[in-house]
Amino acid sequence: MGLKAVHFGGGNIGRGFVAEKLHLAGYEVVFVDVMDSIIDQLQKTKEYTVTEIGGEGEKVNKITNYRAINSKTHEADVIEEISTADLVTCAVGPNILKFIAPVIGKAIDKRTAPKPLAVIACENAIGATDTLAGFIKDSKNTPQGRLDSIHERASFANSAIDRIVPGQDPNAGLNIKIESFYEWVVDKNPFAKEGHPEISAIKWVDDLNPYIERKLFTVNTGHAAAAYYGYARGKRTIHDALQDPEINKNVYECLSETSHLIVKKHGIAVDEQKAYVEKIVKRISNPYLEDVVERVGRAPLRKLSRKERFVGPASQLVESGDKVDALLGAIEQTFAFLDVKDDEESAELSKILKSTEAKDVVGKVCGLEESHPLFSKIVPIVEKVQKSKK
């Protein structure tokens, strides 16, 4: 019997990154989603293409050997597939993990295979697999009498993923255009006993934290800063934004601050981090990606949260008395990303700013306590944005 992976999320990252690499590693991929349109397309289409875009041109991979199940209408089928799978992955968004946990929990409890199921969440969030595991182990999803032995049925490993998926042609169907560069790093420690899955695209490491923070505080910080400054100046794409000397300077200043943290905290060499920054700015500047600022900037509430790309590094830097001026500038631009078409969070942020005092906004949106040294630096920013929007 061949290798089988069950993947939650039939979106761009799911089809264009995770499923692509699993397919190339010899896995049959079973897509699980609640979106009727995606599942219907996957069920009716026997193959789709992933076009990788890089400086050296384009490379097309044809993806086959997959199936698709709608978990909204066929939960029992999903449980059966997971109970006999080798691997479960997901790319659904951090806020959706709690909704996929019940069906995964039921399937893990049903497993009788001698080797534990490998569970790897592929989300843009720190410790996403830990978060998913926490929901799975909740008494609502796993009988408490079975928790002591759950390690015999499942191994949970955190990961860090990095690949830019630009906006897609609305007429492309299942086909995806994606940058050729990628990084998929996974903690190998949970698989010490049984051995980790054989997936050549994954870099297996002993300590994931440096990779997670370096990626989040360089790629995501730089990408989002370019988007928010670009949106404020009427730029269409990230490439357009970074051609503006002032925006370019703002982005590099943000990455200078986060680099200081990364070098100091994780012992990464200054020259290595500098080269990484240059590589990232070159990647996100790629004109062929056609990366629209509204797409990159969407979900500002999540991006302003405590452990995310701006407040996360800024809170750590300010605790040790380091400079955070550039990050504060990016935070201001993020708070000003309001009422953007097709972005529910930007509309919600607008409502919060109109109805809530600045101090309460900082507590609610950024997750900072009033006693934290960053709190008093963000309050005036919120007040300024509130005043400008009146």
In contact, 33 and 74? CB cutoff 8 Å:
no
Measured CA to CA, the distance from residue 301 to residue 120 in angstroms comes to: 25
Clarify whether 215 is annotated catalytic: yes
Direct distance between the N- and C-terminal alpha carbons of the chain, in angstroms, rounded to an integer:
64
3-state secondary structure of 69: strand
| Structural contact between residues 179 and 19, judged by C-beta atoms closer than 8 angstroms | no
Between the alpha carbon of residue 164 and those of residues 17, 53, 312, the distances in Å are 10, 10, 21
Alpha helices in 267-374 (DSSP H): 270-284, 293-297, 300-303, 311-319, 325-335, 344-355, 358-366
Q: Which helix (H) or strand (E) holds 385?
A: helix 375-388
| Secondary structure (3-state) at 228 | helix
Report the alpha-carbon distance of residue 241 to residue 301 in Å, rounded. 22
Contact 118, 87 (CB under 8 A): yes
Residue of 4, 106, 137, 215 marked active site = 215
Strand ranges for the chain from DSSP E: 4-8, 28-33, 48-54, 57-63, 66-70, 87-90, 117-121, 154-156, 159-162, 176-179, 183-187, 203-205
CA distances from 259 to 103, 119, 217, 270, 322 (A): 40, 31, 8, 8, 12
Tokens, residue 334: 């993020």
Q: Are 322 and 257 in contact (CB under 8 A)?
A: yes
Contact present, 366 and 306 (Cβ < 8 Å): yes
Catalytic machinery residues: 215
